[in-house]
Every structure is written in structure tokens, then in C-alpha cells.
Amino acid sequence: MNTIWRKAIRDFWHERARTALVVLAIALGISAFAAVLSSYAILTRELDRGYLATNPASAVFRVDSIDDELVKAILQNPEVSDAEPRRSISGQIKAGPVQWRNLVLFVVHDYGNIRVSKLVPEQGAWPPATGEILIERDAFQVAQVNIGDAVFVKTANGVEQPLVVSGSVHDVGQAQARMENIVYGYINLDTLVQLGEEPRLDQLNILVAQNRFDEDHIKRVVADVETVIKSRGHQVRRIDVPRPGKHPHSDLTGILLLAMSSFGLFVLVLSGILVINLLTAMMASQVRQIGVMKAIGGTRGQIARIYFGQALFLGIAAVIVSVPLGIIGSRALCRYMAMFLNFDINSFAVPWWVYLLVAVIGIAAPLVAAALPVLRGTAVPVRVALSDFGLSQTTFGASAFDRALTRIGGTFSLIVLAIRNSFRRRVRLVLTLLTLTAGGLFFLSALNVRASMINTLDHMFAAGKFDLSIFLARPYEFEKIQRAIANTPRIVSAEGWFVTEASLVSRFTVVALPADTKLLDLEIIEGRNLAPGDTDAIVVNNVLAGREAKMRVGETVTLRIEGAESTGRVVGVAREAFSPAVAYIPLSSIQHPEMINSLRLALKNTDADAISLVKSDLDRNLEREGVRASGSSSKSERRFGFDQHMLMIYVFLIVMSAIIGGVGGLGLMTTMSLNVFERRREMGVMRALGATPRIVWLMVVAEGVVIGMLSWAIAGLLAWPLSKVIGNLLVRMLLHGGLDFTFEPLGLLIWLIVSIGLSALASFLPAWKASRVTVREALAYE
Amino acid sequence: MITLNQVSKTYETPAGKFAALKDIDLQIQPGEFVGVVGKSGSGKSTLLNMVAGIDRPTSGTVDIAGTAIQGLSENKLAVWRGRNVGFVFQFFQLLPTLTAAENVMLPMDFSGSVPFRERRKRAVALLERVAVGAHADKLPATLSGGEQQRVAIARALANDPPLVLADEPTGNLDSVTATAILDLFRDMANRGTTVVIATHEAGIARVIDRRIEISDGAILKQ
């Protein structure tokens, strides 16, 4: 190794404490990036691999009934490799005194021969015997049951029956039960009969023979299959073609992890700022050495190589530290996401390209950051470099800004000195503020986004003036239901709605409700709301208006609702956050306005116990009238699901702000350490003039705190617009909605305390070192 | 041969223009030991910087052994200096994180003129020549001022340059050490190296071949 490289290494060793700080800061950035990138690679691979292992259906047909002949006829098509009938039926489940929970029951004809959309048995019995039910592993918490417990189950047309929970299964393709607040149960055909339902199957899962991941090909095969089904006199109620080979949550996971990756990169950029700070200070302190090296024959390129070598060392050291940290972080993140999305990870193996990318970016980032200080530092002419007497000679007071600063305070004090000192190295100050402010911005944004999400949800739930929704097994006469309601205490008001689906270009929900509804107060953003006397008016929400070109105010559209065509005119657009596409029409405009399939109830008391009581009373009274409820949903249950989705975004922002705050703290520590290093002589003079070590210590800490408070002020000013942008971006990406923005003032106070604490902590060590320097050492230092 | 022809150097300062050198005409023969004497601020260092190619004249030419150095780029000047000039500073200017031997090896690494495996051997030999061979593996901070200046002289000789320039090389040393250092320069000149020393040392007359007196940027006597 030649002396050039020896110098590079020894200079760093000489400044090992500062070097370690910068390596740590870069490592933090790379770790965050590596963790997220590894998680992205692992999760997307495992999610799709786990999903594909279940042999997911290429398409799902909902048909009136399926028999062996129909399956055989479909399998005649060489493009169809498999077709398997099932049934899914909604119902309710109850264990002990716990209230009824919404249930989706899957009926499988032959558990020993599931070939499409396979289930993975987890614990207990397999297959379920007659009188038994298996529960999806994530739904046990929702149902509040254990294996071996007896539960009561009732379906739309059947009778309430006791079943035994005999085991658990993992159904990879289902949305997370806890998030949806729903129970997935699995029974056989005989149990279905026990529950009072007809022993028929109505869902057909088909698998295409070739080009399994070609959506267009699948759609062509689906059209052929549909023709076969119809030609045999069956009705096709609905066809779903899921995205081929992709888990239903694959996109959501990808977007979330990509967002995290970009923030990881952002942290890396911020840690690069520390490299700029370190190398700028190092170049400045070595100007004379650079002059000497040039004087004895060193070219600019040779000298620049020394400092680029140091940047390279920073990058390599940081990558070595951060790769294991990143792997540990990615495992934690993967486990959390897997639990969140209800799937298993078989291998945490990180693909080679992740290591390569992390190494390249980790090593390149400090090199890029070093470019400017190194190129500027080595460009100093030899004569100028040789006549440099060190940084302590830099003058303060030359610029108008310096003179303006001297007006602050007026009398000499520790704070005045701290403020002026903090502005001496302005580029360094700006770079340090950048990292600290970024931490503050993310923290404040996290709190603002959280407050805005709560605000948005508050608005959204305020539009619905009902506390409880009851879904009926089929349409019933409202007259019967009104009798049941009249006999149920603690119901303040009730409306019967008819909820169904229609389609134009896409499928959307149609809600037929009284035109003068008192239980839904839509936020109209264009046109008007439904009004009494309306017969053909349609109000669409912003989601539907955005999706369907025809759904514009003033347009006339024909909708096919429950087999009958209904023509209406769009009179208004309503804003509904986090909502599916919905069209609202007057109940009077549908073919049988006296028949409703959904109830909205405003209650006297809205606590969980009171709602539960009303539900059970109403359920009993409806049964007496021959009306069967298939499910229910209270306002708080719906809110819980939304809160869970929001929590994910909020936690992500808080974690990011903690990491960026950490990098900012390390940056401030580096800055303070450089400031102290450069002003050792000055501190010696102060000590010689009578300043105690404590005064010197306080002076440095105060300087750090001034920088911390400056970053707080800037973060506070920028937080408003930035929170709005970040919040809207995240919510739009993940939940396809916008935010009702609100500012969280408490965040300012919390971040002020954190800023002061962090900056005092970051300055503590440099201040302690500064206070320990003896007068002789400080004055002798060159 | 070193030839300075009508060399002037003017600096722009906040207080106005400052003429550091005024129309200097100077010739130095190969192997000559020249002392440039003058008060502080007289222009000695500027003159040395012109000869070393560290600074460029505002007007005039500097020709060193047939090379007009004022026309070379910064990088070419650095390469030229590495091979042709050894420089000794008043404050030694050893790189603090390199040992004495490594400091001497540094110019060899820059110029690449000495084969890699021979560099240390040569550095130690040079250190022995200036009587600090025993300190070859010590860091500068552990050496006395005189020892550091001897290491700096060894470094100046690293690439066996035909020209050694020294700016106040004894200015920071006690008289006994200063005498020993001047003897080293004399020895260098005796071996055929051209030596130019800028100094205000009275004892310089004992060792030099020619004295050039400079004041306010102009040569008074040579």
C-alpha cells in the first residue's frame, strides 16, 4: 500500500470518533433502505409464491346451480384445465354470550380433492365432519372462539344450528378477517343441509389450461365458458377474473413497500449530507497539507484520490455495518406484513440483486456526496493553500448578515454567543438543518396526517346518521320489517334501503333510499342531492363520477337493476372519502319499492352493549315476522376497519421520522464536533480569560440547542403544506381517497421538546470534550 | 540554469494593489548555493514561489533548465515540481498522520520515479543521510523541531531533484540545530544540487556561494 492510501486511512483513524458517527449515520440510511428493499423482494416473491401454491382460480363464476353434467361440459373445452364447484353463502356466527358476527361460509364438495384455490389445513380436524366447521386462522379473534368450542350458525334461509369448531385452515386468497371484521367458515354439503339450506353449489372456480397469467386469454376462455353455461339453461349471476398470479393484496404491499423504499433512499440522501459536512471540514482543515502535497509534486487528481478513498472507505464501512442490520430489519418488517396480510413466509432469502443494489448505492452515495468538497478542496492554488493559517482565521462580521446578527440580544450572554456561533459556518449549518428539519417535518407530518385521517373519517361517518346497518338475506316487504322495528325498543328512527349492483363500463353499488332520507346527509360537491318527489334522479359519489364518463351532472343513463332497466338523470355528485363507487337513487324509482334488503337504524344509545342488545331484540322480532337478517355492521365496527388501515400509514410515518431524526441527531453531533474542533484555540482564549469548563460546556450545548430550535421553527413552517401533500399522496395510493386536512398543534409542542432534547443530547459529547481541553493544549494547538 | 527575466508580481488586496516583486532579473547556475536575504515581507518567499512554480508572475518569465514554467498548467507544474524541485518549509509541514519514512516516500509515490519496492529503502537511506534514520517509523508529533526539519529535508531530496528550495528552513529552530541544518544544505550543494534558501539568518554567509539581498520586492544586491 502506498503512502497515499496510508494517509487516507490514518487521517480517518485520527478522526475516528467523527468517522464512526458518519459511518453510523450512513449505515442508518443504508439499513433503512436495505431493510425495505429486502422486504420488497421477499414479500412480493413470497406473497405471490404462497398464493400460486394454492392454484388460484383463473376465474370465478356465480351460477344459479352447478351439477356434474355442467362441470363435465365445461371441461370439454381444452382451454379449461380444471373446474371445481363450491358454494359461498353469507350468514352469522355466535359463540356463547358474544354477539352475532358476520360469516361467510364456504361449502366444499370434496375436501380430499381440492385442486383449485386450495386451503391449507393448520390445526385440528381435516376435513370437517358433518356438524363441524373449520375457521380461517385469522378469523378466530373475530369470532372469539377456540378449536373445540360450540358455536351457533345461521344462514339466509336456514335455521339456527349449533356446530363444533373442529379446526383451523389458512385461506391465502381471502382478505384479512380481522381487518374486514368478518369470519370465514368452511363446512361440507351435509352440514349445509343441517343448516337448512339447499344442498346445491353455485360457485365455479375454473383454471385455464394455458397462458395462466395472460388476462386477455383468460377473458376469452371465460366468454366461451359463459356461453356453455348459458346454453345449458343456467343463469350466470356474476363473473370475477382476479389479476392472474397476483395475490389480492400484492398491489397494496408493493405500493406500501415502494413508498417505504423511496423514504429509505431519502434517508440515505440525508446521511450523504453528513459526508459532505465531514469532508468539507476535513478538506478545510487540511488545506495546508494539500498545499504541501502539491508543493512536493502531488497532482490534483492524486490528492483528490486520497479523499475519494476516504469517502469510499465510509461507504464500504457503512455497507458492512448496515447489511446485517438491514436483514434483521427486513425480517421484522416481513413478519409484520405477513401477519398483517395473513400469509406465510417460507424463505427469508434475500436475492443477490438486493445486496448488489444496496452495496452500489451505499458505496456510491458517499462518493457522490464527497465530490463537491473534494473537487473544491483540491482546486485551491498551492500558494493560497500554503498561506492558510487554519480555520480559526476565518472572519466573522464581514457580511451584512453577520452584522445583523450582532443586533440580536444587545448584551453579551451565552445565548447571544451561541446564536452567533451557530451562524459562523453557514453551509454546514444549512446542511445540518436540512437533516434535522427533515426529521421534524416527518414527525409533524405523521401527526398531521393522523389528525387529518381522523378528521376525514369523522366527516365520512358524520354523513351517515345511522348507528347500525342490518343486511337482510333477501328482499322483504318493508311493512313486515316496520312491525318488527316498532316492537324493538331503543330505535330512534329507521329506514329501509335496497342495495344492489349495476354496471356501465364497470360494476358499482346502487343504493335505493327514500329521496327525503334523514339518515344520510351527503356532501354534495356538484349539482344537488335527491329531493322529495324525485323519481328518476341519480346522485353519484365522486369515485363513480371519476370512473364512469357518463356519470356527469345532467347526463341521462340507463341502469340495469335486478334484471330491469331503469333510466335516470344524474343530478348531483357527492364527496365520499374511502368509499367504493356508489350511485344513489330514490327508492320509488325501482321496480318494487315496497321490497327492501337493508336497514339503517339510528339508536338511542350507541355503546357496544346497547347496540348488541338492539341487534338481538330486532333479530328476534324480525324472525317472528319471517324476516332473516344475514349480517349487520355498526358504525364503530366499520370505523375499526378504517382505523386499522390508517394505523399502518401513521406507524410508517412515525418510524420514518424516528430514523430521520436519528440521522439528524448524528448530523448535529458531527457538526458540533467539527465546530468544537475548529474553535479549540478560541476556547483556549476564553478559558485564559476566565471561562470555567462548565461555561465552555454550556456554550457548546447552547449552540446545539439554537440549531435544534431553528430546525424546529423551519419544520413548523413547512409542515403544513408538506403534511397535506404527503397525506394526500399516501392515502390516494393506498386507499384511493383524499384527506380533509387538519393541523395538529400538539405536534409542534412535542417536536419542540424532542428538538431541544435531541440537540442537547447530540451536543453533549462534543461539549464535554471541549470543556476538558486545557488552556495550554488549546493555545498550543495548530 | 534558473533564469528570471523581468519578473513582477502584484497582488490585489482590499487596500489596493500590492507589488510583491518588481522587475526581477536573476540567474542561478547549476550546483550554486544561493541565499535570498531580506526582512519579513520583502518578497523572499514570493521569489521562491516563482522559482518553484507555486505562484505565477504577473509579468516576466521564469525559465528553469529550459522549461518556461509559467506556461505550465497546475497539474503539469505539480508533476514537474515532483521530479525537479525539493521544497523545505519553515514549519516543516510534515503530514501528521504519516511516519517520517512515509513522509519521505510520499513524493516518490506521487511522481512514481522510484520503483515501488525501493521507495522505503531509499527513504530510510535519506533519513540516515540527514541523521534521523533511527526515527524512520515515528510520527512527526513525536520528533523535535530539528528532527522534523531533517525529515523535511530528506523529503525534499526524495526524487533526487536538481533544485532544492527552502523558505526560512531554520526560522523555527534553535541556533545549534539551525547550524546543523544549514550544513546539510551545504552538503547538498557540494553534491551538485542547486540550493536556494530564503532566510534572514545572519549565519547564512558561512555556507552560501552567493547572497541576494531583496527589499520591497526588488533585488538590492547580488
What's the pLDDT score for residue A275?
Answer: 74
Instruction: Please name the residue of chain B whose CA is at the shortest distance from the CA of residue A289.
Output: B95
Yes or no, beta carbons of A297 and B78 under 8 Å apart: yes
Q: Where are the domains of chain A?
A: 1-56+246-388, 59-240, 396-465+637-782, 466-636
What's the pLDDT score for residue A782?
Answer: 44
Smallest Cα–Cα separation from A440: which of A702, A766, A665?
A665
For the four alpha carbons of A14, A20, A25 and A29, in that order, the dihedral sign comes to positive
Smallest Cα–Cα separation from A590: which of A525, A511, A692, A650?
A511
Q: Which of A288, A290, A296 to mutate to test the interface with B (most CBs of B within 10 A)?
A: A296
- Distance, in angstroms, between A450 CA and closest chain B CA? 53
Residue A308 grid cell = 475519494
Question: Cell numbers 384511493 correspond to what residue?
Answer: A736
- Distance, in angstroms, between A291 CA and closest chain B CA? 9
Judged against a pLDDT cut of 50, whether residue A591 lies above it is answered with: yes
Q: Across all residues in chain A, what is the average pLDDT?
A: 83
Judged against a pLDDT cut of 80, whether residue A582 lies above it is answered with: yes
What's the pLDDT score for residue A392?
Answer: 40
Yes or no, beta carbons of B54 and A382 under 8 Å apart: yes
Beta bridge partners of A187: A107
pLDDT band at A185 (very low <50, low <70, confident <90, very high): very high
3-state SS, one letter per residue, for A315-327 = HHHHHHHHHHHHH
Residues of B in contact with A386 (CB under 8 A): 54, 89
pLDDT band at A387 (very low <50, low <70, confident <90, very high): low
pLDDT band at A390 (very low <50, low <70, confident <90, very high): very low
Share of chain A above pLDDT 70, in %: 91
pLDDT band at A413 (very low <50, low <70, confident <90, very high): low
Instruction: Please name the residue of chain B whose CA is at the shortest distance from the CA of residue A387.
Output: B45
Judged against a pLDDT cut of 60, whether residue A590 lies above it is answered with: yes
pLDDT in tens, A436-485: 888 888 888 878 878 888 888 888 888 888 999 998 888 999 888 999 99
Residues of B in contact with A382 (CB under 8 A): 54-55, 74
3-state secondary structure of A545: helix
Yes or no, beta carbons of A297 and B110 under 8 Å apart: yes
Yes or no, beta carbons of A386 and B81 under 8 Å apart: no
pTM of the model as a whole: 0.67
Beta carbons of A512 and A497 less than 8 angstroms apart: yes
Judged against a pLDDT cut of 50, whether residue A430 lies above it is answered with: yes
Lowest mean pLDDT, pick from A201-215, A250-264, B198-212: A250-264
What's the rounded mean pLDDT across residues A16-36? 82
Beta carbons of A348 and A396 less than 8 angstroms apart: no
Judged against a pLDDT cut of 80, whether residue A677 lies above it is answered with: no
What's the pLDDT score for residue A412?
Answer: 47
What's the rounded mean pLDDT across residues A26-37? 84
More confident of the two residues A173 and A224 = A224
**Nearest CB partner across the interface for A3, out of B78, B83, B105:** B105
- Distance, in angstroms, between B47 CA and closest chain A CA? 12
Yes or no, beta carbons of B110 and A298 under 8 Å apart: yes
What's the rounded mean pLDDT across residues A345-349? 89
Maximum C-alpha span of chain B: 53
What's the rounded mean pLDDT across residues B190-211? 86
Judged against a pLDDT cut of 50, whether residue A411 lies above it is answered with: no
What's the rounded mean pLDDT across residues A756-769? 84
pLDDT in tens, A240-272: 888 888 877 777 777 777 777 777 777 777 777
Residue B212 grid cell = 541576494
pLDDT band at A274 (very low <50, low <70, confident <90, very high): confident
Beta carbons of B110 and A297 less than 8 angstroms apart: yes
Interhelix angle A250-285/A352-378, rounded to 10 degrees, is 30
Return d(Cα A257, Cα A254) in angstroms, integer.
5
**Three-point CA angle A658, A660, A661, nearest 5°:** 60
Yes or no, beta carbons of A297 and B96 under 8 Å apart: no
For the four alpha carbons of A501, A503, A506 and A508, in that order, the dihedral sign comes to negative
Tell me if chain B has a CB within 8 Å of the CB of A2: yes
Q: Which of A3, A5, A13, A289 to mutate to test the interface with B (most CBs of B within 10 A)?
A: A3
What's the rounded mean pLDDT across residues B89-96? 79
What's the pLDDT score for residue A391?
Answer: 38
Judged against a pLDDT cut of 60, whether residue B133 lies above it is answered with: yes
Residue A104 grid cell = 361467510
Report which listed range, A167-181, A209-223, A269-283, is most confident: A209-223
Return d(Cα A148, Cα A531) in angstroms, integer.
54
- Distance, in angstroms, between B75 CA and closest chain A CA? 5
More confident of the two residues A473 and B36 = B36
What's the pLDDT score for residue A571?
Answer: 94
- Distance, in angstroms, between B16 CA and closest chain A CA? 18
Yes or no, beta carbons of A386 and B54 under 8 Å apart: yes
- Distance, in angstroms, between B86 CA and closest chain A CA? 7
**Nearest CB partner across the interface for A6, out of B55, B98, B111:** B98
What's the pLDDT score for residue A394?
Answer: 46
pLDDT in tens, A617-674: 898 898 888 888 888 888 887 887 777 777 777 777 777 778 777 877 877 787 777 7
pLDDT band at A691 (very low <50, low <70, confident <90, very high): low
The interface residues of chain A toward chain B in range 300-319, judged by CB-CB distance below 8 A, are 300-302
Judged against a pLDDT cut of 60, whether residue A395 lies above it is answered with: no
What's the pLDDT score for residue A9?
Answer: 80
Burial A77-115 (b: 16+ CB within 10 A, else e): bebbbbbbbbbebebbbbbeeebbbbbbbbbbbebeebe
Instruction: Please name the residue of chain A whose CA is at the shortest distance from the CA of residue B73.
Output: A299
Tell me if chain B has a CB within 8 Å of the CB of A384: no
Share of chain B above pLDDT 70, in %: 98
Smallest Cα–Cα separation from A625: which of A499, A474, A479?
A479
What's the rounded mean pLDDT across residues B68-95? 83
More confident of the two residues A4 and A522 = A522
Judged against a pLDDT cut of 80, whether residue A155 lies above it is answered with: yes
Residues of B in contact with A10 (CB under 8 A): 97-98
Lowest mean pLDDT, pick from B6-10, B73-77, B105-109: B73-77
CB A116: neighbour CB atoms within 10 A? 19
pLDDT band at A736 (very low <50, low <70, confident <90, very high): low
Judged against a pLDDT cut of 90, whether residue A703 lies above it is answered with: no
- Distance, in angstroms, between B102 CA and closest chain A CA? 6
- The CATH number corresponding to A59-240 among 2.40.40.20, 3.40.50.300, 3.30.2290.10, 2.40.10.10 equals 2.40.40.20
Range of the domain at B40: 2-221
The interface residues of chain A toward chain B in range 277-296, judged by CB-CB distance below 8 A, are 288-289, 292-296
**Nearest CB partner across the interface for B81, out of A4, A297, A381:** A297
What's the rounded mean pLDDT across residues A51-56? 86
Q: Which of B93, B99, B108, B163 to mutate to test the interface with A (most CBs of A within 10 A)?
A: B93
Yes or no, beta carbons of B55 and A382 under 8 Å apart: yes
CATH number for B168: 3.40.50.300
Q: What is the ipTM of this complex?
A: 0.72
CB B141: neighbour CB atoms within 10 A? 9
**Nearest CB partner across the interface for B109, out of A3, A288, A300:** A3
pLDDT band at A688 (very low <50, low <70, confident <90, very high): low
Instruction: Please name the residue of chain A whose CA is at the shortest distance from the CA of residue B119.
Output: A2
CB A45: neighbour CB atoms within 10 A? 15
**Nearest CB partner across the interface for A297, out of B55, B79, B96:** B79
Tell me if chain B has a CB within 8 Å of the CB of A10: yes
Judged against a pLDDT cut of 90, whether residue A186 lies above it is answered with: yes
Yes or no, beta carbons of B106 and A295 under 8 Å apart: no
| Chain centroid to CA A583 | 28
User: How many Cα neighbours within 13 Å face the side chain of A660?
Assistant: 31
Yes or no, beta carbons of B95 and A289 under 8 Å apart: yes
What's the pLDDT score for residue A67?
Answer: 86
- Distance, in angstroms, between B42 CA and closest chain A CA? 16
Residues of A in contact with B74 (CB under 8 A): 294, 300, 381-382
Instruction: Please name the residue of chain A whose CA is at the shortest distance from the CA of residue B85.
Output: A296
pLDDT band at A393 (very low <50, low <70, confident <90, very high): very low
pLDDT band at A299 (very low <50, low <70, confident <90, very high): confident
Burial B106-125 (b: 16+ CB within 10 A, else e): bbbbbbbbbeeeebbebbbe
Instruction: Please name the residue of chain B whose CA is at the shortest distance from the CA of residue A302.
Output: B110
Share of chain A above pLDDT 90, in %: 19
Yes or no, beta carbons of A11 and B97 under 8 Å apart: yes
Instruction: Please name the residue of chain B whose CA is at the shortest distance from the CA of residue A288.
Output: B93
Residue A175 grid cell = 382478505
What's the pLDDT score for residue B141?
Answer: 83
More confident of the two residues A166 and A428 = A166
What single DSSP character describes residue B41? T
Yes or no, beta carbons of A295 and B81 under 8 Å apart: yes
What's the rounded mean pLDDT across residues A100-127? 88
